[in-house]
Amino acid sequence: MDFTFPKSQRLTGKKEIDAVYNDGKTLKKYPFVVKYLRPVEMEKECLKGVFAVPKRRIPRAVKRNRIRRMLKEAYRLNKHLLEEALGKNNQKMALFFVYTGKENVTYHQLEEKIRLILKELSAIVSDTEQ
């Protein structure tokens, strides 16, 4: 298992991000709204992701950046749950995580929700293949 989150696995570019945000399906698990899309034009990576913490919800930049860092770390350590399902079914997926919670959150709460979301997405991937 590879527990890294290199730039090649990050969703970059305005067109890619807009496509996922506008055309993707939505999965809501408080404190997240996750948009996901199965694009056909992704290169070799089977899973790409991006994280957003809105300024309207968390006005202080220091707190916003801390939450974003915790989200990336939780995703980095648990993304293998979804990568395995995508690899078995030979599919690709782009994810857009939007944090909609309050400021007072611990890393363990975020990691638990990220793990729950990734397991649900892997179940969706497995169901659509069969």
Residue 2 forms part of a structural domain: no
Which structural domain range is residue 58 located in?
Answer: 7-129
What's the rounded Cα separation, in Å, for the pair 22 and 93? 15
Percent of the chain with pLDDT over 90: 63
Query: Is a pLDDT exceeding 90 seen at residue 90?
Result: no
| Strands, sheet with 47-52, edge to edge from the N-terminal-most edge strand | 25-29, 32-37, 93-99, 47-52
* CATH number (domain holding residue 84): 3.30.230.10
What is the value of pTM for the model shown?
A: 0.89
**Amino acid 128: pLDDT:** 72
Query: Is a pLDDT exceeding 80 seen at residue 112?
Result: yes
Band of pLDDT at residue 16, cut at 50, 70 and 90:
confident
Residue 117 forms part of a structural domain: yes
Number of domains in the chain: 1
Structural tokens at position 87: 């690899």
Report how far apart the first and last C-alpha atoms of the chain are (Å, whole number). Answer: 25
Residue 1 forms part of a structural domain: no
